[in-house]
Amino acid sequence: MKRNMLILTNRTLHNGPRMIREFQTFKNDFNITAFGLSKPLDEEIHYEDINQFRTLPLQITNALLRRLFYKKWWGGVAEYYPLIEAYILKNNFDAIIIHDPTFLPLISRLKSKRPFLSIYNAHEYHPLEFEDKPQWTETIGRYLTTLYKNHLPDIDLMINVCEGIAQECENKFQKKSLVIPNVANESAIAPTENTGIIKLIYHGAIMQSRNIEDMIDVMKILGNDYSLDIMGMVSSGNESYFATLKQYALQAGNVYFRDAVPFHEIVPTINQYDIGLFLLRPNNFNYTHALPNKLFEFIQAKLAIAVGPSVEMKRVVNQYHLGVVSDDFSAESLASAIKQLDRAAIKQFKQHAVAASAIENAAHYANIYLQQVKAFMN
């Protein structure tokens, strides 16, 4: 007989990779209800629109908080709680997974009323998410640190995306984590063999904090024997940055923009390229320890990879011999590393990606996650 699981988030469910993989991981063993901002594509998941649990006083409270503290706020201090708490107590959930730190107090309150397995799937290290912004650090950063300190003890299983973040949680809050990276589904797609110019791809969110212009600078140095396609969606509030970025790209003459594709089409779409590119300045703790979806999508697409010396990405690239890592975060350093790659080297790195794809895939980590959850519940 299946047990009952609730997945609770302030995020969209139709395109959120970590939630989608949880649906795939647990739906054979659990009846899943998901609260979020959009309906899952998987029809087996019972969906509840989280906005229906908002009350007007809470909306007003959170609007004031946003105005007082910071323009971006995840759901607020107490948003949704009373009605969601009533819904949960009315239904019999054996496991609850939260994806947002603002739901941590809710877990603590529920734990005092009934037993269940509590899981916090942390997408990043929230207490230092925008540590490069002093106003944020002194307001929301302090609040999130307090949430972690007071409520992580009520979490039975914490999920983190990389070893660096897991270690920080253990050092600062004495909370051990299960590391589940943002890996892609395994793909049987074969490497492509291209001729002509060497084609690079960056895909992902387009936002100013990622300094995407740095990758355009790489292309300026590489010249006309290389091209870069930037494929992604413009994050809210970054429309002006995107317009500036497109104008800046004209100076390179070898950088092009293409529309984002659905989550399940990313790997087959980028398979046509030679090199997956990502250069991310270590502007804050999460960027320093970034281990993004795109790295594993590069692997499943069987691409060579070129990245800056970000700790976690460097480890994966070097472990499986997937490509090149620059000496520093400058465009000059990464361009120099890429120039070392001829067609033979790119072909070899693509073959290494074939081997890595059999290990660094969603099914491998899903089994680890599922077995850990079963162990807690038995």
Residues whose CB falls within 8 Å of the CB of residue 355, separated by 6 or more in sequence, listed in order: 320
pLDDT of residue 131: 87
| Same domain flag for 209 and 338 | yes
Q: Is residue 203 part of a domain?
A: yes
Summarised one tens digit per residue, pLDDT across range 293-323 is 999 999 999 999 999 999 999 999 999 999 9
| Same domain flag for 102 and 226 | no
pLDDT for residue 238 is more than 60: yes
**Domain count across the chain:** 2
| Same domain flag for 271 and 125 | no
| Same domain flag for 17 and 143 | yes
| Same domain flag for 85 and 217 | no
| Same domain flag for 41 and 143 | yes
* DSSP secondary structure, 164-218, as one string: HHHHHHHHHH---EEE---PPPP--PPPP---SSEEEEEES-B-GGG-THHHHHH
Summarised one tens digit per residue, pLDDT across range 170-198 is 999 999 999 999 999 999 999 999 889 99
Q: Is residue 217 part of a domain?
A: yes
Give pTM, 2 decimals.
0.87
Summarised one tens digit per residue, pLDDT across range 75-120 is 444 445 788 999 999 999 999 999 999 899 999 999 999 999 999 9
| Same domain flag for 351 and 367 | no
Residues whose CB falls within 8 Å of the CB of residue 323, separated by 6 or more in sequence, listed in order: 275, 276, 304, 305, 306, 307, 317, 341, 349
The domain that holds 369 is classified in CATH as 3.40.50.2000
| Same domain flag for 143 and 34 | yes
| Same domain flag for 178 and 295 | no
| Same domain flag for 168 and 254 | no
Q: Is residue 208 part of a domain?
A: yes
pLDDT for residue 378 is more than 90: no
Provide the domain limits for residue 15: 3-182+361-377
pLDDT for residue 248 is more than 90: yes
| Same domain flag for 206 and 95 | no
| Same domain flag for 248 and 344 | yes
Give me the chain's average pLDDT, please: 92
Q: Is residue 57 part of a domain?
A: yes
Q: Is residue 187 part of a domain?
A: no
Q: What is the largest CA-CA distance in the chain?
A: 65
Q: Is residue 17 part of a domain?
A: yes
Residue 201 CA to chain centroid, in angstroms?
Answer: 18
For residue 212, name the pLDDT band (cuts at 50, 70, 90). Answer: very high
Average pLDDT rounded to a whole number, residues 36-50: 95
Q: pLDDT above 70 covers what percent of the chain?
A: 93
